[in-house]
Amino acid sequence: MALSATVSQKKHVKRKAPRGFLRRLFKRQKPHLRLETRGDVLVHLNCLLFIHRLAEEARINACESKCGIIKKDHVVAAAKVILKKSRA
Amino acid sequence: MANNFSPDSEPTARTLLRRVLDTADSCTPQRRRSDRISAQRTLLETPSSRRRSIQTKVTARQRSHGARSTGRLAHGQAGGQLEEQTPRTLLKNILLTAPESSIVMPQSVVKPAPAPQVVQPSRRKSSQSSLELQLPELEPPPTLAPVLLGSGRRKQKLRLSVFQKEVEWGPQGLPVSQEPPGNPDASSLTSSLNLTFATPLQPHSVRKPGLARRPPTRRAIDVGALLQDLQNNSLASTPLVDNLRAPVATLPTDIVLEDTQPFSQPLVGHSPNVHYSLPHPYPGPEDAEGTVHHRTQGSIPELQNHKLQPEPADPLEMTEAEGSKRAMEAKNPEESSGDEDISDRPGKRPSVRRSQRTVEPEEPKRSSKDEDISDRLGKRPSVERSRRAVEPEEPERSSEDEDISDRPASSELASNVPEFLQAKQLDQFLEPAPSSGATVLSSEPQEPVLARTHPRPRTAVPRPRQDPHKGGLNHYTKLFSFYAKMPMERKALEMVEKCLDKYLQHLCNDLEVFAAHAGRKTVKPEDLELLMRRQGLVTDQVSLHVLVERHLPLEYRQLIIPCAFSGNSVFPAQ
C-alpha cells in the first residue's frame, strides 16, 4: 500500500530518471562508495536543476547577444558561471 | 338451481352419473346428514376428501355427484325430503351440464347469466351446497380441487376455492371478459385456476409467487453469448489494429470496442504498442502541439509504415521504398523532401540496416523516426540548417540510428520534453521534435562518421562502453533544449554534454566528501540535501521537498517525501 499500484493504463513515468545510468556513473567514479536507493533520484533532481539553470543562463546570453539561436559560446559562458556557482 | 339444462352432450356421462347417483346415494346419506348438521364446511370437507382421492373423471364425477347429492340432500333437508328427488334431477341435469360445459365454464348452465353474484349471495346457503356441487363440478379440473384441498388449510382453501369459484362463476357465467367487481385477486386466482389446469402448483404459486421461478438457463446462455461476443470482439480488435494502413477505419472500431476505457487513444496506443506502431489517433495530440502538424502526420504514417514493414519481415529496402511511397501518398510537400531524403539514402542504408539488423526490431523504427525527427527539424526556424542537416546528416543519421538503437535505456528515458505525450515510443519520437533532433545529431558528430564506416562487429564493440553513457547524457541534453526554449546548435548541445559530464564528476566528489565527513561509506539522501544546500538550490525558504514536488514526477516524489498511510504507517520509513 505504501507504493500504491500505478494506474493500469499509465505504467510509465513521464520524464523517467535514468537511474541505471546514474548508478553506473557513480559506481564508475567512486567504486568504493555506495549509493542509496533514493540517492540516485535526488541526483537526478540535482542534474535537472543544473540543466535548468544552465539553459536559463544560456538563453540569457543568447538573448543578450540578440541571437535567435543558442550558440556554443553562449553555452560555454553560461557553463562557466553555473559551474562556479555549483561548486560554491 | 340451474333450470337451464342444455341438451346432453355426453350420454355416456349421463349414464355414468346416474349410476353413480344410484350408488352414491346409498353410501352417503348418513354422512351428508351429519355433515349438514355439523356445518357446511364438513360437507365441503367430505367431498373434498373424496375429491382428493379422485383421479379419474368418473370417480370425480361420482363424488361430485355424491357431493352434489349431499348438497342436494342438504337442500332437500332444508327444504324437505321432497327436494331430494328434485335435487337428484337437478343433479342429473347439472351433471349433464357439467361435462358439456368446459371445466373452465361449469356454471354457464348452473347459474343463470344475469346477476350471478346476486344469485351467489342469495344462494349462500344453497350456494354453499351449490358451491359444493359446483366444487365437484370443478373437480373435472381435478388438479385444482385436490391441490387446493391438499394443503393443510382445508377449510380456508375450500372457502377460497369456493370464493374463487364464485368469482369464476361470475366471469364465467357472464362473458369471460367480465370480472367480478371487488375481487380482482379472486379473478386472478380464478384465472390462474382456470389457466393452470395442468399445474397444480399454481394456486400455491399464486399465493406464494416467489416459489415459481423460471429456470436460470437463460443466464448461462447469455454468459456464453457474452463470452462469444467478447472473443469476437477481441479477435476483431486485433486484426483491426493490424490494419493500420487504414487508420481511419480502425479508429472508430477501436474506439467502439474499447468503449469502456475512458480514453480510447491511450489504450489503443498502448495495447498494440508492443508489437505495432502507434495508431492513428496519436497524431491528434501531436497536432495539438501546433508546431508539428504536417510533419507529424506525414511522419507518423511513415512511422507506422516503417513499423508495419519490419513486422512482416520485409526487406528493409522494401520497407523504405514502401515508406517512401506511402509518404508520397500522404501528399505533403514537406514529406516529399523527406522522401527524397529517404530515397536518397540507399547508399547509406547499409549503416541503418546494419544497426537495424543488429538491434532489436524496434529500433529500425527509431531509425525511421530519426528521419522523421530530421523532417520535423525542417519546421524549425532553422529550416535551412535542418534541410542541410537532413542531407549531410545522413551519415550522422546512420550513426544516430546506431546510437539510438544502442541506447535501450535512453529510448525509455526519452520521455522528456512533451509532457502530454504518453506513449513511450511516441515520446521518443516526438520529444525530440522541438529540437532534440538537432541535439541528437549534434551530439555525436565524430562517432557517427567512424561508426558508419565500420562494419557491424566494430559497431557492436564500442556500444556498451560509450553509448550508454552518451545515451544517458543525451537524456539531459534533450531536457536542456527543452528548458532553453530556443533553437540550438549542435555544437552547443555537445557543449552541454561536456558540462554535464564535468558537473557529475564534481557531484560525485562532493558526495564522497560529505559521506566521509559523516563517517559513512554510503551516500545517503542527507548528503544530497547538503549538496543542494551548498549549491544554493535549497534555502530556508525553499526546502528540498518543495523542489522535489516541483520537478519530479509523482512516483519519485512518493519515494522521497514521507507520507502517512492508513494503519499508522509512514512510507518511506524514517
Nearest to A51 among B479, B486, B488 (CB): B479
Q: Tell me: the pLDDT tens digits for B235-274? A: 655 554 444 444 444 444 444 454 555 554 444 444 444 4
User: What is the 3 state secondary structure string of chain A?
Assistant: CCCCCCCCCCCCCCCCCCHHHHHHHHHHHCCCCEECCCHHHHHHHHHHHHHHHHHHHHHHHHHHCCCCCECHHHHHHHHHHHHHHHHC
Label residue B416 by pLDDT band (50, 70, 90): very low
Q: Tell me: the pLDDT tens digits for B518-542? A: 998 999 898 999 999 999 999 999 9
Q: Tell me: the pLDDT tens digits for B296-353? A: 444 444 444 444 444 444 444 444 444 444 444 444 444 444 444 444 444 444 444 4
Q: Is the backbone of residue B559 left (phi > 0), alpha (psi -120 to 50) or beta?
A: alpha
Question: Within an 8 Å CB–CB cutoff, is residue B336 touching chain A?
Answer: no
Rounded CA-CA distance B83/B130 in Å is 14
Q: How do beta strands A34-35 and B563-565 pair?
A: unpaired
Residues counted in chain A: 88
H helices of B291-392, in order, are 293-308, 316-330, 333-344, 349-358, 362-377, 383-390
In chain B, what percentage of residues exceed pLDDT 90? 5
Provide the 10 A C-beta neighbour count for residue B223.
10
Contact state of A21 with B413 under an 8 Å Cβ cutoff: yes
- Residue B103: the pLDDT is 52
Instruction: Indicate the domain borders of chain B.
Output: 472-523, 524-563
Chain B, 414-453: which have a CB under 8 Å from a chain A CB?
415-416, 419, 422, 424, 427
Mutate to test the interface with A, among B505, B511, B560 (most CBs of A within 10 A): B511
Comparing B207 with B291, the larger pLDDT belongs to B207
Q: Tell me: the pLDDT tens digits for B194-227? A: 544 444 544 444 555 566 666 666 555 556 667 7
ipTM (interface predicted TM)? 0.91
Distance in Å, alpha carbon of A65 to nearest chain B alpha carbon: 14
Contact state of A13 with B556 under an 8 Å Cβ cutoff: yes
- Residue B171: the pLDDT is 53
Provide the 10 A C-beta neighbour count for residue B574.
5
Label residue A32 by pLDDT band (50, 70, 90): very high
Chain B, 363-402: which have a CB under 8 Å from a chain A CB?
381-382
Q: Is the pLDDT of residue B440 over 50?
A: no
Question: Within an 8 Å CB–CB cutoff, is residue B218 touching chain A?
Answer: no
Q: Is the pLDDT of residue B148 over 60?
A: no
Nearest to A33 among B422, B521, B552 (CB): B521
Rounded CA-CA distance B422/B415 in Å is 8
Label residue B516 by pLDDT band (50, 70, 90): very high
Q: How do beta strands B563-565 and B569-571 pair?
A: antiparallel
Comparing B212 with B39, the larger pLDDT belongs to B212
C-alpha cell at A14: 513521464
Which region among B5-19, B123-137, B371-385, B477-491 has the lowest average model confidence (pLDDT)?
A: B371-385
Contact state of A69 with B382 under an 8 Å Cβ cutoff: yes
A19-86: CATH architecture: Orthogonal Bundle (1.10)
> Which of A19-23, B224-228, B274-278 tops mean pLDDT?
A19-23
Contact state of A62 with B486 under an 8 Å Cβ cutoff: yes
CATH fold match for the domains B472-523 and B524-563: yes
Count of CB pairs separated by less than 8 Å, A with B: 209
DSSP bridge partners of B523: A35
Distance in Å, alpha carbon of A85 to nearest chain B alpha carbon: 7
Mean predicted lDDT score pLDDT of chain B: 57
Which residue from B minimizes the CA distance to A57? Answer: B484
Nearest to A52 among B483, B523, B531 (CB): B483
Distance in Å, alpha carbon of A61 to nearest chain B alpha carbon: 11
- Map residue B528 onto helix, strand or coil: helix
Please state the rounded mean pLDDT for residues B366-377: 43
Residue B294 near residue B338 (C-beta atoms within 8 A): no
Contact state of B472 with A6 under an 8 Å Cβ cutoff: no
- Residue B317: the pLDDT is 45
Distance in Å, alpha carbon of B219 to nearest chain A alpha carbon: 31
- Map residue B571 onto helix, strand or coil: strand
Label residue A69 by pLDDT band (50, 70, 90): confident
Contact state of B496 with A48 under an 8 Å Cβ cutoff: no
Please state the rounded mean pLDDT for residues A33-49: 90
Question: Within an 8 Å CB–CB cutoff, is residue B211 touching chain A?
Answer: no
Please state the rounded mean pLDDT for residues B68-77: 48
Which region among B11-15, B148-152, B376-380 has the lowest average model confidence (pLDDT)?
A: B376-380
Distance in Å, alpha carbon of B307 to nearest chain A alpha carbon: 21
Comparing B221 with A68, the larger pLDDT belongs to A68
Question: Within an 8 Å CB–CB cutoff, is residue B360 touching chain A?
Answer: no
Contact state of A69 with B572 under an 8 Å Cβ cutoff: no
Q: Is the pLDDT of residue B475 over 90?
A: no
Residue B19: CB partners within 8 Å, gap ≥ 6?
A: none
Comparing B231 with A17, the larger pLDDT belongs to A17
Instruction: Indicate the domain borders of chain A.
Output: 19-86
Phi, psi of B281 (to 5 degrees): -60, -20
Rounded CA-CA distance B34/B285 in Å is 96
Q: Is the pLDDT of residue B376 over 70?
A: no
Rounded CA-CA distance B263/B230 in Å is 19
Q: How do beta strands A34-35 and B569-571 pair?
A: unpaired
Nearest to A69 among B489, B503, B508 (CB): B489
Mutate to test the interface with B, among A75, A80, A82 (most CBs of B within 10 A): A75
Residue B149: CB partners within 8 Å, gap ≥ 6?
A: B48, B49, B51, B52, B157, B158, B161
Label residue B79 by pLDDT band (50, 70, 90): very low
Rounded CA-CA distance B177/A26 in Å is 95
In chain B, what percentage of residues exceed pLDDT 70? 24
Please state the rounded mean pLDDT for residues B168-180: 51
B123 burial via Cβ count (<10 Å: 0-12, 13-18, 19+): middle
Which region among B82-86, B169-173, B554-558 has the lowest average model confidence (pLDDT)?
A: B169-173
Query: Closest Cα partner for B352 from B411, B294, B306?
Result: B306
Residue B523 near residue B515 (C-beta atoms within 8 A): yes
- Map residue B570 onto helix, strand or coil: strand
Which region among B78-87, B194-203, B469-478 has the lowest average model confidence (pLDDT)?
A: B194-203
Nearest to A9 among B270, B504, B515 (CB): B270
C-alpha cell at B115: 346477476
CATH class of residue range B524-563 = mainly alpha
- Residue B293: the pLDDT is 44
Mutate to test the interface with A, among B413, B467, B469, B485 (most CBs of A within 10 A): B413
CATH of region B472-523: 1.10.20.10
Q: Tell me: the pLDDT tens digits for B119-138? A: 444 454 554 455 444 454 54
Q: Is the pLDDT of residue A72 over 50?
A: yes
For CA atoms B349, B352, B356, B362, the dihedral sign is: negative
Chain B, 461-490: which have a CB under 8 Å from a chain A CB?
468-469, 471-472, 475-476, 479-489
- Residue B547: the pLDDT is 92
